[in-house]
Structure 1
Amino acid sequence: MKEDYLKMIFELGGVSGKVSNKQLSLSLDIAAASVTEMINKLVEERLVSHTPYAGISLTKSGRKAAEELVRKHRLWECFLFQKLGYTLATVHQEAEKLEHSSSDHMIDALDAFLDHPGHCPHGGAIPDQAGNYEVGSRTTLDEVADGTKIRLARFVDNHDLLDYLESLNFSIEQTYTIKSHAPFEGPLTLAKADGSTVDVSFKAANNIFVDKL
């Protein structure tokens, strides 16, 4: 469980910025009270720092732990997706098991076998052996104004989310135009190039990162 929090804080931008309790609650699908309890434990272990009303960020040791976990997890996702034909929605749970039983030597060998991929199948950056990686977009779909053209950049690594997005036929690099935001945390309507539209739930939109075009 602690590892899931570190990975999610990393994924939501907690390396160079701040992540809110609400973001973690939405992305992990965990009650806000439980998130607060775990964050307090991570603060005690000096893996994260928490500034009230500002947010949560990884400490130096927390960042190192998160990067190692993310590297293992995402390299296994690449292997399962590219070599074994797993779908986007099914790689997460298998990779979750494999990351905990993999030595650093095995992960380095896997990285070389896959020709050092920079991103996993759902767009997340993969730290290299030295801990270097490309910082991804921190703009979520729900933050973008109506009328803006966007490209899907990455999806939060959550099984239910990836299963949902697969049902919508979403994939990285697709482009859409934001047509409308329904009020009271209702769905967002996206327009495709051919004029057809697709609705995305507010919760999912909070877990989809995009590049503005």
Structure 2
Amino acid sequence: MTPNKEDYLKCIYEISTRTPKITNKEIAEKMQVSPPAVTEMAKRMIDEKLIQKDKQAGYLLTPLGHQTIARLYRKHRLIEVFLLEHLGYTTNQLHEEAEVLEHTVSDYFIEQLDTFLGYPQTCPHGGTIPQKDQLLTEQYQQTLEEVTQSGKYQLMRIHDSFPLLQYLEQVDLAINDTFTVQQIDTFTQSILIECKNQKIAIPFAIAKELYIEAQ
């Protein structure tokens, strides 16, 4: 499978975790390509039984698609752990490097890497690392956006994107930090939290990228 096709498949998976319907427009915006390009690639992926077209949901991953996604995320996240723990990368540097390497290393390399690392369960951004031949099931699925009342929470996982990592660094919020939700403001579309003795107004658009656990 080509790196481009793998990126399309990951894009479809990521959109599916946030919205009930996946359209050509959404894929085109995320992949930064034209809608006709998406249509052409979707046809190929349907022919290869990686996805299927559904009237209600748009595009759906097939069982083969889910298996492929798990393999890709396993590679990506194990590589991130290695880069962070053994090569001195920062969390902000991990994603882009892993994006390149995941398309080039072999399955054998990944199995050896898993053994070398001691079979880690999660990546540096809190995402679950699927075991060999197992499907991807994220351990933490509740987002900060879904919180409906004040209380104490812990940041367990974040969506793996460079702009988000930059934002979190700016506001000094990191994986495993505990914080208190003080106010949910629908008018300003933000959630006011207190963490490390500072107040942070987190926009809903970012809150949906942060996965939390009640404390």
Shorter-chain TM range is 0.7 to 0.9
Partner residue, 1:141: 144
The Cα of 1:67 is off from its aligned counterpart by 0.9
Matched, 1:71 2:74: yes
Determine the C-alpha separation between the residues in 1 that align with 2:120 and 2:36.
Answer: 32
| Change in 2 beyond 3 A, CA 1:170/1:192 | closer
Partner residue, 1:21: 22
Determine the C-alpha separation between the residues in 1 that align with 2:187 and 2:36.
Answer: 24
Q: How many residues matched?
A: 208
1:61-84 residue CA offsets vs partner (Å, 9 max, x unmatched): 001111111111111111111112
The answer as to whether partners of 1:21 and 1:36 remain within 8 angstroms in 2 is: no
Q: Which runs of 5+ in 2 are unaligned?
A: none
Structure with more relative contact order (C-alpha pairs < 8 Å, separation 6 or more): 1
Determine the C-alpha separation between the residues in 2 that align with 1:18 and 1:3.
Answer: 20
The Cα of 1:35 is off from its aligned counterpart by 11
Partner residue, 2:65: 62
SS, match of residue 118 in structure 1: coil
Q: Map 1:45-194 onto structure 2 (within 5 A).
A: 45-54=48-57, 57-131=60-134, 135-183=138-186, 186-192=189-195, 194=197
Equivalent position to 1:210, from 206, 209, 212? 212
The Cα of 1:136 is off from its aligned counterpart by 1.8
| Change in 2 beyond 3 A, CA 1:124/1:199 | same
What amino acid does structure 2 have at the position aligned with 1:21? Answer: I
The answer as to whether partners of 1:185 and 1:202 remain within 8 angstroms in 2 is: no
Determine the C-alpha separation between the residues in 2 that align with 1:35 and 1:127.
Answer: 33
Between 30-39 and 70-79, report the one with greater CA deviation: 30-39
Between 125-134 and 63-72, report the one with greater CA deviation: 125-134
Determine the C-alpha separation between the residues in 1 that align with 2:68 and 2:177.
Answer: 32
The Cα of 1:8 is off from its aligned counterpart by 4.7
Determine the C-alpha separation between the residues in 2 that align with 1:97 and 1:126.
Answer: 18
Partner residue, 1:201: 203
Under a length normalisation based on structure 2, what TM-score does the superposition of the two structures give? Answer: 0.79
Between 5-14 and 73-82, report the one with greater CA deviation: 5-14
Determine the C-alpha separation between the residues in 2 that align with 1:126 and 1:68.
Answer: 10
Between 196-205 and 4-13, report the one with greater CA deviation: 4-13
Q: CA RMSD in A?
A: 3.3
Between 131-140 and 168-177, report the one with greater CA deviation: 131-140
SS, match of residue 21 in structure 1: coil
Between 111-120 and 137-146, report the one with greater CA deviation: 137-146
Name which one, 1 or 2, has greater alpha-carbon Rg.
2
Q: Which runs of 5+ in 1 are unaligned?
A: none
The answer as to whether partners of 1:9 and 1:19 remain within 8 angstroms in 2 is: no
